[in-house]
Protein backbone atom coordinates (compact mmCIF):
# COMPACT_ATOMS: atom_id res chain seq x y z
CA UNK A 1 0.00 0.00 0.00
CA UNK A 2 1.31 3.44 -0.85
CA UNK A 3 0.91 6.07 1.86
CA UNK A 4 1.29 9.12 -0.34
CA UNK A 5 -2.46 9.28 -0.81
CA UNK A 6 -2.85 9.93 2.91
CA UNK A 7 -0.94 13.19 2.50
CA UNK A 8 -3.10 14.67 -0.23
CA UNK A 9 -3.57 17.87 1.71
CA UNK A 10 0.06 18.69 0.90
CA UNK A 11 -0.50 18.58 -2.87
CA UNK A 12 0.19 21.73 -4.90
CA UNK A 13 -2.03 24.76 -4.67
CA UNK A 14 -1.33 28.18 -6.14
CA UNK A 15 -1.57 31.20 -3.86
CA UNK A 16 -2.92 34.29 -5.56
CA UNK A 17 -4.17 37.65 -4.40
CA UNK A 18 -7.81 37.97 -3.47
CA UNK A 19 -9.80 41.14 -3.01
CA UNK A 20 -10.68 41.71 0.67
CA UNK A 21 -14.43 41.65 1.11
CA UNK A 22 -14.70 41.24 4.88
CA UNK A 23 -15.37 43.84 7.55
CA UNK A 24 -12.75 45.62 9.62
CA UNK A 25 -13.13 43.06 12.40
CA UNK A 26 -11.99 40.38 9.98
CA UNK A 27 -9.03 42.54 8.98
CA UNK A 28 -8.10 42.85 12.64
CA UNK A 29 -8.29 39.08 13.08
CA UNK A 30 -6.12 38.54 10.04
CA UNK A 31 -3.59 41.01 11.44
CA UNK A 32 -3.47 38.96 14.65
CA UNK A 33 -2.68 35.82 12.64
CA UNK A 34 0.07 37.58 10.68
CA UNK A 35 1.58 38.89 13.93
CA UNK A 36 1.54 35.38 15.40
CA UNK A 37 3.22 33.85 12.37
CA UNK A 38 5.95 36.47 12.27
CA UNK A 39 6.66 35.84 15.97
CA UNK A 40 7.21 32.10 15.44
CA UNK A 41 10.68 31.10 14.28
CA UNK A 42 10.36 27.40 15.14
CA UNK A 43 7.58 25.10 16.26
CA UNK A 44 7.34 21.47 17.29
CA UNK A 45 4.11 19.56 17.89
CA UNK A 46 2.40 16.20 17.82
CA UNK A 47 -0.23 15.83 15.11
CA UNK A 48 -3.28 13.69 14.43
CA UNK A 49 -4.36 13.42 10.80
CA UNK A 50 -7.80 12.16 9.77
CA UNK A 51 -8.63 11.39 6.15
CA UNK A 52 -11.95 11.25 4.31
CA UNK A 53 -12.50 7.60 5.33
CA UNK A 54 -11.90 8.28 9.00
CA UNK A 55 -8.44 6.71 9.01
CA UNK A 56 -6.32 8.29 11.72
CA UNK A 57 -2.54 8.69 11.54
CA UNK A 58 -0.32 10.35 14.13
CA UNK A 59 3.17 11.78 14.09
CA UNK A 60 5.57 14.58 14.95
CA UNK A 61 5.80 17.99 13.29
CA UNK A 62 8.92 20.16 13.24
CA UNK A 63 8.85 23.63 11.64
CA UNK A 64 11.59 26.20 11.12
CA UNK A 65 10.91 29.41 9.25
CA UNK A 66 11.39 30.32 6.57
CA UNK A 67 10.55 27.32 4.44
CA UNK A 68 11.40 24.23 6.49
CA UNK A 69 9.07 21.59 7.91
CA UNK A 70 9.12 17.88 8.74
CA UNK A 71 6.13 15.55 9.18
CA UNK A 72 7.31 12.22 10.58
CA UNK A 73 4.51 9.68 10.86
CA UNK A 74 3.98 6.90 13.40
CA UNK A 75 6.42 3.98 13.21
CA UNK A 76 4.19 1.68 11.15
CA UNK A 77 3.66 4.33 8.46
CA UNK A 78 6.72 4.55 6.16
CA UNK A 79 5.92 8.08 5.01
CA UNK A 80 8.01 11.23 5.44
CA UNK A 81 7.21 14.79 4.32
CA UNK A 82 9.99 17.39 4.37
CA UNK A 83 10.43 20.94 3.12
CA UNK A 84 14.07 22.06 3.01
CA UNK A 85 13.53 25.72 2.16
CA UNK A 86 13.29 25.11 -1.59
CA UNK A 87 11.11 22.09 -2.30
CA UNK A 88 8.41 20.09 -0.53
CA UNK A 89 9.24 16.38 -0.71
CA UNK A 90 6.98 13.41 0.04
CA UNK A 91 8.79 10.09 0.47
CA UNK A 92 7.02 6.73 0.61
CA UNK A 93 9.65 4.27 1.82
CA UNK A 94 7.38 1.27 1.29
CA UNK A 95 7.21 1.64 -2.49
CA UNK A 96 10.41 3.71 -2.79
CA UNK A 97 8.58 6.64 -4.34
CA UNK A 98 9.48 10.33 -4.13
CA UNK A 99 7.37 13.32 -5.18
CA UNK A 100 8.51 16.97 -5.06
CA UNK A 101 6.91 20.39 -5.52
CA UNK A 102 8.20 23.95 -5.17
CA UNK A 103 7.16 25.23 -1.75
CA UNK A 104 5.54 28.28 -3.34
CA UNK A 105 3.06 25.96 -5.10
CA UNK A 106 2.01 24.23 -1.88
CA UNK A 107 -0.66 25.34 0.61
CA UNK A 108 2.03 25.04 3.25
CA UNK A 109 3.67 28.14 1.77
CA UNK A 110 1.17 30.16 3.81
CA UNK A 111 2.48 28.47 6.95
CA UNK A 112 6.20 28.37 6.17
CA UNK A 113 6.88 31.95 5.08
CA UNK A 114 6.13 34.55 7.78
CA UNK A 115 6.97 37.31 5.32
CA UNK A 116 3.95 36.51 3.19
CA UNK A 117 0.91 38.74 3.66
CA UNK A 118 -2.05 36.46 4.25
CA UNK A 119 -4.32 39.39 3.51
CA UNK A 120 -3.37 39.11 -0.15
CA UNK A 121 -4.49 35.53 -0.77
CA UNK A 122 -6.43 34.41 2.29
CA UNK A 123 -9.67 35.37 3.96
CA UNK A 124 -11.04 35.05 7.47
CA UNK A 125 -13.99 32.70 7.91
CA UNK A 126 -16.66 34.23 10.18
CA UNK A 127 -16.93 32.68 13.65
CA UNK A 128 -19.04 33.31 16.73
CA UNK A 129 -16.08 34.03 18.99
CA UNK A 130 -12.91 36.11 18.81
CA UNK A 131 -11.03 33.25 20.42
CA UNK A 132 -11.03 31.22 17.18
CA UNK A 133 -9.71 32.57 13.89
CA UNK A 134 -9.99 30.48 10.71
CA UNK A 135 -8.13 31.59 7.59
CA UNK A 136 -9.04 30.05 4.24
CA UNK A 137 -6.43 29.91 1.47
CA UNK A 138 -7.44 29.01 -2.08
CA UNK A 139 -6.98 29.98 -5.69
CA UNK A 140 -10.37 30.96 -7.11
CA UNK A 141 -8.97 30.63 -10.63
CA UNK A 142 -7.72 27.07 -10.03
CA UNK A 143 -10.42 25.26 -8.04
CA UNK A 144 -8.84 21.92 -8.93
CA UNK A 145 -6.12 22.73 -6.41
CA UNK A 146 -8.61 22.65 -3.54
CA UNK A 147 -8.81 24.67 -0.32
CA UNK A 148 -6.93 24.74 2.96
CA UNK A 149 -8.24 26.40 6.13
CA UNK A 150 -5.87 27.08 9.02
CA UNK A 151 -7.41 27.33 12.48
CA UNK A 152 -5.88 29.51 15.20
CA UNK A 153 -7.02 29.66 18.84
CA UNK A 154 -6.36 32.41 21.40
CA UNK A 155 -3.81 31.38 24.00
CA UNK A 156 -2.26 33.78 26.54
CA UNK A 157 1.52 33.60 26.50
CA UNK A 158 1.73 32.13 22.99
CA UNK A 159 3.39 34.20 20.23
CA UNK A 160 1.00 36.98 19.28
CA UNK A 161 -1.53 35.55 21.75
CA UNK A 162 -2.49 32.74 19.33
CA UNK A 163 -1.66 29.10 18.75
CA UNK A 164 -2.18 27.03 15.59
CA UNK A 165 -4.80 24.39 16.33
CA UNK A 166 -4.49 22.67 12.93
CA UNK A 167 -5.97 22.85 9.46
CA UNK A 168 -8.60 21.31 7.19
CA UNK A 169 -8.14 20.64 3.47
CA UNK A 170 -10.68 19.95 0.77
CA UNK A 171 -9.57 18.66 -2.62
CA UNK A 172 -11.33 19.32 -5.92
CA UNK A 173 -13.70 16.40 -5.26
CA UNK A 174 -14.61 17.76 -1.83
CA UNK A 175 -12.67 15.04 0.00
CA UNK A 176 -11.80 16.27 3.48
CA UNK A 177 -8.53 15.78 5.35
CA UNK A 178 -7.95 17.34 8.75
CA UNK A 179 -4.85 17.74 10.90
CA UNK A 180 -4.93 18.66 14.58
CA UNK A 181 -1.90 19.75 16.60
CA UNK A 182 -1.15 19.13 20.28
CA UNK A 183 1.75 19.55 22.73
CA UNK A 184 2.97 22.60 20.78
CA UNK A 185 6.28 24.26 21.65
CA UNK A 186 7.40 27.52 20.07
CA UNK A 187 10.83 28.98 19.30
CA UNK A 188 12.95 26.16 20.65
CA UNK A 189 16.18 24.94 18.97
CA UNK A 190 15.76 22.69 15.91
CA UNK A 191 18.82 21.46 14.02
CA UNK A 192 19.16 21.67 10.26
CA UNK A 193 19.53 17.89 9.99
CA UNK A 194 15.83 17.62 10.88
CA UNK A 195 15.00 18.69 7.33
CA UNK A 196 17.09 16.16 5.46
CA UNK A 197 15.78 12.86 4.09
CA UNK A 198 17.07 9.53 2.82
CA UNK A 199 16.31 8.79 -0.82
CA UNK A 200 14.85 5.25 -1.07
CA UNK A 201 15.13 5.02 -4.85
CA UNK A 202 17.68 2.55 -6.24
CA UNK A 203 20.95 4.07 -7.38
CA UNK A 204 21.39 3.74 -11.12
CA UNK A 205 24.88 2.63 -11.96
CA UNK A 206 26.52 3.78 -15.15
CA UNK A 207 27.31 0.96 -17.52
Domains contained in the chain, CATH given: 4-188 (2.50.20.10)
* Spatial strand order in the sheet of 162-170: 97-102, 87-92, 79-84, 68-73, 56-64, 42-50, 176-186, 162-170, 147-154, 132-138, 122-125
Looking at the predicted structure, is the pLDDT value of residue 21 above 50? no
- pTM of the model as a whole: 0.83
Distance between CA 121 and CA 14 in Å, rounded? 10
198 vs 122, more confident: 198
pLDDT tens digit sequence for 81-135: 999 988 999 999 999 999 998 877 777 777 887 666 576 678 899 888 889 999 9
User: What is the per-residue pLDDT for 151?
Assistant: 95
Q: List all residues 6 or more positions away from 191 whose beta carbon is below 8 Å from its beta carbon.
A: none
User: What is the per-residue pLDDT for 69?
Assistant: 95
Q: Mean pLDDT for the chain?
A: 84
Amino acid sequence: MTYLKYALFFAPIALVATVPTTAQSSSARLARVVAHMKAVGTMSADFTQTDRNGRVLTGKLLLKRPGQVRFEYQKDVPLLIVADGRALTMVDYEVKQVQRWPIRNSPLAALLDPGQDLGRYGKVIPSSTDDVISVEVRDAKRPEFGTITMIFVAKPGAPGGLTLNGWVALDSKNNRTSLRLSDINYNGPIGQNAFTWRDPRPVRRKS
